[in-house]
Chains A and B, each alone.
Chain A
Amino acid sequence: MRRKLAKIAGHLLEASIDDIVLEAGVAKVAGTDRAVPIANLARAAYHQLHLFNGEIEPGIAESATYDPPGTFSNACHVAIVEVDPETGRVTLEKFLVAEDAGRIINPMIVDGQIHGGIAQGIGNALLEEIVYDATGNVLTTTLADFLPPTAREIPPIELHHLETMSDMTITRAKGVGEGGTIGAPAAVLNAINDALAPFAVEINEMPATPQRIRAALRAAEKR
């Protein structure tokens, strides 16, 4: 970007590109008072290309991408659940997460990513299942059978942030989003198993549907 602006300025000021310095909103020839506002360079780049004998590509947009070595966020999830042993129904009372995504650039987006990830994890833990019949046909082909969570199933989520800067990225940020999905199912299942501990029942299959919980409780009663 700097190079391109300097090149344009060099043309407009009839100076060598190496003598152009950019400062305080202008491009100037070092050691002189010859200067042109950067806004004018931008205008020239878009609207006055005839000035440059085809040596300047239109526009001043620059973009670059890079692929940092693996980064991941760390998080700790806690679910508080209520399990009704009569019906097997699980109600999430509250969800708490502390996570570390490195530098938080846009807090609103980071929070949104974590909320969404947790909701997907809760769906995974309690509701969403692709069921096949004995001959391999999918039985859960509609959203009336395959159940993503609604606003009713997702409890208030309390979020805490830690910011440990990452050395692996330019922005010192880490990835965020997946952490919500990965942590939530374990937290929910652990909470359910904790609630069912007095019945000596452990659920190790997701989703922990009322049917599965009741089946486990019935099996425990028979033992």
Chain B
Amino acid sequence: MSEKRDVVLNINGRDHAVRVEPRRTLADAIREDCGLTGTHIGCEHGVCGACTVLVEGAPVRSCLMFAVQAGGKPIRTVEGLASGDELSVLQRAFMEHHGLQCGFCTPGFLMLVTGVLEREPDIGDEELIDVLASNLCRCTGYQNIIKAVRAAAQELRAK
């Protein structure tokens, strides 16, 4: 099983042809083979959510998916959120509401919420807290993350 496979990872609209062992996690492939280090690796066992990316529009723990499983599927990472110098509505809301302190969990929260708000733009405040409870943050006590996400959801709905 250590024989390397050729895989094309389509990340943020760009193809990355990589050669990886089947056991290589998507998180490691994104960071090490594609050089996109915005995706953070926290617990490496699917609990903390720091490594969350979008695969075919759905939030995925990239430490629990193998790179070979994601071949050919559209993947989005935190590097793809801003357009040029312009932050996404959610990114800006995190900044304005101080939704981060050390920033380690932030890429995971951004991708989690981006995926959820695209799929369920009318999600209620309580359901949003259930969604946010899937990722861990050790600094903020979640108060300002919740504020930022609610503000972004509202702004996106108004658009």
**Interface of A with B (CB < 8 Å)?**
108-109, 111-120, 142-144, 148, 150-154, 156-157, 180
Contact = CB atoms under 8 A, between A and B. Distances in A.
Specify which of B43, B98, B101, B143 lies most central, judged by the most chain A CB atoms within 10 Å of its CB.
B143
Interface stretch (B19-27, B51-59, B125-133): B125-133
A156 B133 CA distance: 14
Size band of the interface chain B makes with A:
20 to 34
A151 B45 contact: no
A39 to B, nearest CB: 26
A112 B101 contact: yes
Interface stretch (B4-12, B67-75, B80-88, B134-142): B134-142
Interface string B101-135: 10000000000000000000000000001101111
Contacts of B47: 142-144
A153 B143 CA distance: 11
A140 B98 CA distance: 32
16 contacts: A108-B98, A111-B143, A111-B144, A112-B139, A112-B140, A115-B144, A116-B101, A116-B141, A142-B43, A142-B45, A143-B47, A144-B47, A150-B134, A150-B136, A152-B133, A154-B141
B43 A143 contact: yes
Contact of B138 (A112, A148, A151): A148
Nearest to B145: A151
Contacts of B43: 142-143
B144 A151 contact: no
B128 to A, nearest CB: 9
Nearest to A148: B136
Given A151-B129, A152-B130, A144 B45 contact: yes
Contacts of A118: 141
B144 A112 contact: yes
Contacts of B45: 142-144
B48 interface: yes
A111 B98 CA distance: 9
